[in-house]
Amino acid sequence: MLDAVKGFGLTFSTMFRKVVTVKYPEVMKPTAPRYHGRHVLNRHPDGLEKCVGCELCAWACPADAIYVEGADNTEQARFSPGERYGAVYQINYLRCIFCGLCIEACPTRALTMSNEYELADDNRQDLIFTKDKLLAPLLPGMEAPPHPMRLGDSEQAYYVDVPARTTRAADAPGKSVPADDTARAGARVNVSGEDSTIGSSDGGDR
């Protein structure tokens, strides 16, 4: 009985408080820095895709909202460092519950979540985002795939040799590869690690 009275007391106390009205969409309230919004597929500083088509994000999704098909890179057509890339990538926002388990499962930090939340639509088909909608935009100095690896001779230069990667990029003839800080300056992306900046390449990393 006492708990019920306490509950009603909280209800009545809020009835006399000033109502806060946000004039959306003219005034958009800022989201929390780690807000789980629309997904972004990030790029390396030279423009290659971070996604390697491993499908771990799809396996981790409790709502079965992600569909991935991996394919093999070739020397003539390379989309990511290493052997494979995500040839088909889809997220069904009719199913997505924005839990963030997919970005936790990603081994290459390719998938992150932005602060964008305006996803309403009157067409169900338009809420199935394909790879072209999810890929981060190319920043100055990036090159649209397919193209050879610009940061080193192997994928180790992208994932292990971080200092060597910066030197190699600067010395690459005829190519201006943006530094990591510059690459972070694109689409707003949420993070789930110590780096709370948001970006579209190396940035937005978890």
Dump pLDDT digits (tens) for 147-199: 999 988 888 888 876 544 433 333 444 444 444 444 444 444 454 433 333 33
Whether residue 16 lies inside any domain: the answer is no
The CATH number that applies at residue 136 is: 3.30.70.3270
Annotate the chain with three-state secondary structure.
CHHHHHHHHHHHHHHCCCCCCCCCCCCCCCCCCCCCCCEEECECCCCCECCCCCCHHHHHCCCCCEEEEEEECCCCCCCCCCCEEEEEEEEECCCCCCCCHHHHHCCCCCEEEECCCCCCCCCHHHHEEEHHHHECCCCCCCCCCCCCCCCCCCCHHHHCCHHHHHHHHHHCCCCCCCCHHHHCCCCCEECCCCCCCCCCCCCCCC
More confident site: 12 or 189: 12
Whether 98 is covered by a domain: the verdict is yes
Give this prediction's pTM.
Answer: 0.70
Residue 19 lies in a domain: no
Range of the domain at 43: 30-190
Count of domains observed in the chain: 1
